[in-house]
């Protein structure tokens, strides 16, 4: 059986791939690994020097933790999550990157503090992905001063470390129109939400790559000229990144995670086999 991967669509934080000849179980493993096991940087520890804002320390720390941070360089520079989970942030520079937030207001001033105000201290490569995430609204004569410590982690431990916002595996459609039965009434094209069926040049044109298997066309066809199914050896993988990692990086790292887990599994099996004398 031949295997192939085709890039169907690609954006800054989004990629859609078409896999042919690849088992569905493997792609689902990639999907799960993308969400849960690919590491990214996120703020895990916050030290407050002063906080007279309307928000409690815990709420601000939570908002900071959910702010996506660039992690492309960090996944190669910092120690892994398992090595750093119990390490104090004040004594480790190879586990933690430090960011600082120092904002205050004067008399009669109201100010919104954004993610762009969270400045990197120890590593310029670890900073907020987006500048306009609102964190706090300071009223007159209010101040927030803090140091935030970010480390690598995995989505299986907390969603703040998940590098993706969407990870989906879908079937590839098999869409057929019986031209002998079709009356070109156009009802199927009218109800199709993605334009997979259109009337062009006096005939009906089917674009399987646009079909999402909603079956609206099958229900609308008065003469039952449309048959809809899915291909058993073709699947789409859609990955939308939070911006912490490029979507292609997420997929590559997911395959690395799966390979590592399979190697560990085979090693455990060989160890059991050796102990049993098999």
**Residue 68, SS3?**
coil
Task: Give the pLDDT of residue 217.
Answer: 93
The larger pLDDT score, comparing residue 93 to residue 141, is at 141
Q: Tokens at residue 278, please?
A: 């098999």
Q: Which residue has the tokens 């907020």?
A: 128
Nearest to 225 by CA among 276, 261, 263, 181: 181
Q: What would the pLDDT profile of 56-104 be if each residue is shown by its tens digit?
A: 999 999 999 999 999 999 999 999 998 888 888 877 778 999 999 999 9
Task: Give the pLDDT of residue 180.
Answer: 87
Task: Give the pLDDT of residue 113.
Answer: 97
- Angle among Cα 206, 211, 216 to the nearest 5 degrees reads 90
Q: 175 with 211: CB under 8 angstroms?
A: yes
Gap between the Cα atoms of 276 and 278, Å rounded = 5
Asked if the 4-36+165-239 domain carries CATH number 3.30.420.40, the reply is: no
Nearest to 37 by CA among 254, 251, 224, 206: 254
Given pLDDT bands bounded at 50, 70 and 90, which one contains residue 1? low
Gap between the Cα atoms of 80 and 16, Å rounded = 28
Q: What would the pLDDT profile of 201-212 be if each residue is shown by its tens digit?
A: 888 999 998 999
Q: 206 with 196: CB under 8 angstroms?
A: yes
Gap between the Cα atoms of 261 and 21, Å rounded = 22
Q: What would the pLDDT profile of 111-127 be if each residue is shown by its tens digit?
A: 999 999 999 999 999 99
Strands (E), 95-218: 97-104, 111-114, 119-120, 134-138, 143-153, 164-177, 197-200, 203-206
Given pLDDT bands bounded at 50, 70 and 90, which one contains residue 278? low
Task: Give the pLDDT of residue 275.
Answer: 83
What is the pTM assigned to this prediction?
Answer: 0.86
Q: What would the pLDDT profile of 174-220 be if each residue is shown by its tens digit?
A: 999 998 898 899 999 999 999 999 999 888 999 998 999 999 999 99
Asked if domains 4-36+165-239 and 40-161 share a fold, the reply is no
Q: Would you list the domain boundaries of the chain?
A: 4-36+165-239, 40-161
Gap between the Cα atoms of 9 and 18, Å rounded = 9
pLDDT > 80? residue 171: yes
Q: Tokens at residue 262, please?
A: 């399979």
Q: Kindly tell me the burial class for residue 89, based on how many C-beta atoms sit within 10 Å of its own C-beta (0-12, 13-18, 19 or more).
A: buried
> How does strand 197-200 pair with strand 143-153?
unpaired
Task: Give the pLDDT of residue 85.
Answer: 80
CATH number of 40-161: 2.170.120.12
Provide φ and ψ at 162, rounded to 5°: -75, 130
Nearest to 258 by CA among 11, 23, 15, 14: 23
Nearest to 188 by CA among 224, 155, 152, 161: 224
Q: What would the pLDDT profile of 4-56 be if each residue is shown by its tens digit?
A: 999 999 999 999 999 999 999 999 999 999 999 999 999 999 999 999 999 99
């Amino acid at each position: 059986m031949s295997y192939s991967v085709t890039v169907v669509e690609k954006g800054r934080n989004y990629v859609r791939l078409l896999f042919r000849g690849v088992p569905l179980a493997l792609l689902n493993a990639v999907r799960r690994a993308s969400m849960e096991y690919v590491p990214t940087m996120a703020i895990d520890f916050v030290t407050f020097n002063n906080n007279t804002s309307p928000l409690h320390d815990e709420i601000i720390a939570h908002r900071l933790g959910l702010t996506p941070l660039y992690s492309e360089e960090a996944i190669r520079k910092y120690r892994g999550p398992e090595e750093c989970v119990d390490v104090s942030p004040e004594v480790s520079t190879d586990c933690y990157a430090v960011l600082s937030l120092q904002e205050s207001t004067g008399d009669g001033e109201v100010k919104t503090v954004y993610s762009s105000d969270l400045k990197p201290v120890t590593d310029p490569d670890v900073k907020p992905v987006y500048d306009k995430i609102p964190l706090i609204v300071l009223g007159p004569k209010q101040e927030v001063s803090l140091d935030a410590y970010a480390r690598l982690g995995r989505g299986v431990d907390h969603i703040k470390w998940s590098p993706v916002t969407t990870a989906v595996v879908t079937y590839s459609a098999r869409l057929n129109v019986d031209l002998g039965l079709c009356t070109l009434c156009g009802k199927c094209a009218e109800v199709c939400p993605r334009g997979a069926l259109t009337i062009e040049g006096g005939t009906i044109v089917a674009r399987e790559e646009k079909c999402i298997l909603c079956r609206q066309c099958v229900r609308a066809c008065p003469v039952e000229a449309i048959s809809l199914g899915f291909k058993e050896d073709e699947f789409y993988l859609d990955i939308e990144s939070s911006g912490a990692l490029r979507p292609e990086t997420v997929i590559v790292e997911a395959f690395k995670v799966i390979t590592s887990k399979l190697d560990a599994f085979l090693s455990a099996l060989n160890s059991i086999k050796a102990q049993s004398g098999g």
